[in-house]
Amino acid sequence: MTGAASAVIEALLPRRNYLERSDAYKRKGIAANIDQVLVLAAVEPRASEEFLSRILLIADAAGVNTLLALNKIDLPGADEARARLMLLVGAGHELIEFSARPEHDAAPSAPAILRAKLAGRRTVLCGQSGMGKSSLVNALVPNASAVTGELSSALGSGRHTTTFSRLYHIDSDTTLIDCPGMQEVGIHHLTHADLARGFREFAPYLGHCRFANCRHVHEPDCALRNEVAKGGVAPERLRLFQKLIAEIGV
């Protein structure tokens, strides 16, 4: 066609990882060839602990490092929000805290906390709507001008302000991929083994059940269920694991 732009694919480069989510019918890619996933929660509105766990699970299954962040810690309720994340911290996930738009100087700002964590890496930013992703992008990326939205007080959640993934260059060696706010994270592409490994606190007990193919649901002499009964593993975490394996039918 006269005047039409054209391009030629010269090579296909191998993927070193691929972050995706899936339901029973299809898979949807999030990003490829990344170094880490920054999973954003906030003091307000309340983040779903199950949502956070699902993001961490698909990242672990893809072999991608994770970083859990709590935003808006200058708001009332920060202690309660932090406490809700302690099960994930106890499972081995690193937690950092800041305010993307601090209302007073005493609150740690996002650039000060995140600069070293993001430097030289390609990071995917994930979180539910209302967690402050756009505000975080604006704080980190000069002239980003990402649109920010007001919270819906009626729904207790944020309005979607990002509708497609966008890559930002923080500097020549550091990039940030802002994903659209997600309310659901499907995990149908994961296996039983993926899920068991993704619950990192289960590791000392896997392989010690009476049956090698133990699903950790109702089998006798299950080392994991025995540890829950003794208080060594949080029962909420085992219940979530059992819910997820039932969801994907493994």
Give the domains, in start order, of the chain with CATH numbers: 28-178 (3.40.50.300), 192-248 (1.10.40.50)
pTM of the model: 0.85
Q: What CA dihedral angle connects 72, 78, 81 and 83, to 10 degrees?
A: 140
Distance from C-alpha of 179 to C-alpha of 125, rounded to nearest angstrom: 6
Confidence (pLDDT) at 158: 44
Q: Burial, 103: exposed, middle or buried (Cβ in 10 Å; 0-12, 13-18, 19+)?
A: exposed
Helix (H, G, I), strand (E, B) or coil at 206: coil
Q: Chunked in runs of 10, what are the mean pLDDT values of the chain (250 residues)?
A: 75 92 93 96 94 97 96 93 96 93 64 88 94 89 61 42 75 92 89 95 96 94 97 96 93
